[in-house]
Amino acid sequence: MIRTSRRLADGREILYFDEDADAPPRDATDGRDLPAVATQSQLRFDPLLGEWVVVAAHRQTRTFLPPADQCPLCPSRPGRPTEIPESDYQVVVFENRFPSLATDVARDVPTSAAGNPLAELRPGFGRCEVVCFTSDHDRDFFELGHQRARLVVDAWAERTAELSALDGVEQVFCFENHGEEIGVTLSHPHGQIYAYPFVAPRVEKLLGSVRRHREATGGDLFAEVVTAERSGPRVVAANEHWTAFVPAAARWPYEVQLFPTRKVADLPELTDAERDAFVDVYLDVLGRFAHRFDTPMPYIASWNQAPARARDEWWLHLQLFSLRRAPGKLKYLAGSESGMGAFITDTNPEDVAEQLRNAQVTAE
């Protein structure tokens, strides 16, 4: 993998990732007249839930569903400069122009929210990056092919290692939102990376379960789940290094978790063989998601990586889920889910696994 670092017109970093040294030099300049990025994000602590909330009101003006010929993630062309100055690219990562978190965020914030000294305030420190998987506007991830998908995995791993080393970053989150129903505002195939200054609530909850299980039984909860599911009825796809299965208590209508066989904390720890094997299983499962119904499923692909200070306890995994429950029908998070956080599912996990196993179609 060849990595090339450049700067955009407003000073944001852009990184080009190419499969080999035969790629053309990445030396195009960004000639746009861009204002400096000004991030006013804050972290506000909810003392009742014990969770941090990011307040980023400046993001209201971000680009929203532009037509394809105005896509800011496509390569630049004469008379139509975009976020990527090059006329073509393989994989690109750049700092978000409308970030929720930033390293140069305004630091002068009050110690607490007005009228509530228990609601602690902090600057919205962190980093938000955009990952463009391909220059082809109309190609979905499952259509990338093994070589390009592997380059994306290597880029995720490289960014995870670099962002995790930033002082003040507690967790790195790589993810893809796919489909307008999910809330995607740009249709070009891309994902994002957040470098959080806190440990995300889902990870905190999982760690709590792992610790309680260890104290009660002396066992590793992650290991026991992986071992059980590898031979269970909910496996969708598997190979020597990875297992993709529908969780026994899946919350979403269509949900698959992908676990490596070997315990690793994050993407950088994966070997070359494990990265190749992940791509094989992941493209297989994405193909099944794309062909389960008449139209591809909207989905979120969410990497659960180790927080900076609990690496030995963690087991890397990917959570892939869709809110589509049937053709033309979505699962809305209504009263029980949104109000109480108590999920009520519309599908049976064993049935979902069988349906996905029977969707024997993948990208060419």
- Its pTM stands at 0.95
Of the candidates 155, 195, 192, the one whose C-alpha atom is nearest the C-alpha of residue 62 is: 192
Asked whether the beta carbons of 133 and 157 are under 8 A apart, the reply is: no
Backbone phi, psi, residue 46, to 5°? -90, 105
Q: What is the pLDDT of residue 62?
A: 65
Average pLDDT value for residue range 162-186: 94
Query: Domain 2-198 belongs to what topology?
Result: HIT family, subunit A (3.30.428)
Neighbouring residues of 118: CB distance < 8 A, sequence distance ≥ 6: 45, 47, 112
- Binding-site members are 71, 74, 137, 188
Average pLDDT value for residue range 38-43: 86
- Binding-site members for Zn(2+) are 71, 74, 137, 188
3-class secondary-structure state, position 339 = helix
CATH of 202-358 among 3.40.640.10, 3.40.50.1100, 3.40.50.2300, 3.30.428.10: 3.30.428.10
Could you confirm whether 58 is annotated as catalytic?
A: no
* Confidence class for position 68, pLDDT limits 50, 70, 90: confident
CA distance 159 to 41: 22
Among 178, 190, 241, 291, the one annotated catalytic: 190
Q: Considering the chain, what is the average pLDDT of its residues?
A: 94
User: Strand 329-330 to strand 42-46: parallel, antiparallel, or no bridges (unpaired)?
Assistant: unpaired
Q: Where exactly does CATH 3.30.428.10 map onto the chain? A: 2-198, 202-358
Q: At what angle do helices 349-358 and 272-291 cross, to 10 degrees?
A: 100
Q: What is the pLDDT of residue 361?
A: 65
* Confidence class for position 363, pLDDT limits 50, 70, 90: very low
User: Which token pair is 340?
Assistant: 């109480």
